């Protein structure tokens, strides 16, 4: 199996797991802490494997996420395209830091994503969410170093021959 096909398979599995975690029902009290799993996986792959997630791929992933969550068609697609653009633009700078320091950048990216979603919601006339709306990026920031290590192990570990 080539490195490219191994990366595609691992990316597909990671995205499916992220989408499953996105639609997994949670109690209302902890649902506000649900990280944007798909965005975290997309950030990882855009950082670590150049060209694995293009703007078009991010758009398609966002459309699938819109279908799964029943949100406005194109809402997550737009936010993921902006997210991937920013990651690609600052990729060399972000990769310079270890995962626990990258978490600050991930927080900035996810807050930017929330602002985009808030803007789209305001265009639709939805009410302004409470302060709980901003807890999910904080939870995702706490999870980032561990998710980075897990995805790195899944991506690199699949290519290592068994001894």
Question: pTM for this one?
Answer: 0.91
pLDDT tens, position by position, 133-145: 999 999 999 999 9
Please report where in the chains the tokens 């995702």 appear, as a residue.
140
What are the structural domains of the chain? 3-157 (1.10.1760)
pLDDT tens, position by position, 90-124: 999 999 998 889 999 999 999 999 999 999 999 99
* Alpha carbon 162 to its chain's center: 30
Long-range contacts of 52-55 (CB under 8 A, 24+ apart): 52/7, 52/8, 52/11, 53/11, 53/84, 54/84, 55/81, 55/84, 55/85
Cβ neighbours, 10 Å, residue 64: 14
Tell me the average pLDDT of the chain.
92
pLDDT tens, position by position, 38-71: 999 999 999 999 999 999 999 999 999 999 999 9
């Amino acid at each position: 199996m080539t490195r490219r096909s191994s990366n595609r398979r691992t990316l597909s599995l990671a995205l499916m797991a992220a989408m499953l975690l996105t639609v997994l029902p949670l109690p209302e009290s902890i649902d506000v802490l649900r990280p944007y799993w798909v965005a975290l996986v997309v950030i990882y792959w855009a950082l670590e494997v150049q060209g694995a997630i293009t703007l078009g791929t991010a758009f398609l992933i966002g459309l699938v996420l819109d279908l799964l969550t029943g949100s406005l068609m194109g809402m997550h697609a737009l936010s993921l395209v902006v997210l991937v653009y920013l990651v690609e633009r600052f990729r060399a700078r972000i990769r310079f830091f270890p995962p626990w320091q990258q978490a600050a950048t991930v927080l900035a990216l996810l807050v930017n994503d929330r602002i985009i979603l808030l803007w789209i919601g305001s265009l639709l006339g939805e009410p302004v969410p409470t302060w709980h709306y901003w807890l999910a990026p904080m939870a995702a920031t706490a999870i980032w170093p561990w998710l980075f290590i897990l995805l790195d192990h899944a991506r690199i570990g699949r290519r290592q021959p068994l001894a």
